[in-house]
Amino acid sequence: MSHFAKRIAGVSLGAAVLCGVSVQADAQLLTHKDLSVEIATQMALTAIDACKAQGYNVSAHVLGREGQVVVAMRNPAAGFATFENSMKKAYTARTTRAPSGRFADAVKGNPNAGQFFLTNFVAAQGALPIMVGNDTIGAIGISGAPGGDKDEACAKAGIDKVAAQLR
Partner 1 sequence: MKKIAIIAGLSLAGMLAGSANAQLIAHKDLSLPTAVTIAQTAVQTCKAQGYLVSANVLGRSGEVIVAMRGDDTGPHTLENSFKKAWTARATRAPSVNFANTLKQNPTAGARSLSNMVPAQGALPIMVGEDVIGAIGVSGAPGGDKDEACAKAGIDKVAAELR
Residues that bind partner 1 (CB under 8 A): 36-38, 41, 45, 48, 64, 68-77, 80, 83
Q: State the minimum distance, in angstroms, from the CB of residue 27 to partner 1.
A: 23
CA 78/CA 150 separation, integer angstroms: 14
3-state secondary structure (DSSP) of residue 51: helix
Helices (runs of H) and strands (runs of E) counted in the chain: 5, 4
Please say which residue, 75 or 143, places its beta carbon nearer to partner 1.
75
Please say which residue, 46 or 103, places its beta carbon nearer to partner 1.
46
Q: State the minimum distance, in angstroms, from the CB of residue 137 to partner 1.
A: 14
Q: State the minimum distance, in angstroms, from the CB of residue 75 to partner 1.
A: 5
Please say which residue, 65 or 102, places its beta carbon nearer to partner 1.
65
Q: Is 162 exposed, middle or buried (0-12, 13-18, 19+ CB in 10 A)?
A: middle
CA 77/CA 157 separation, integer angstroms: 20
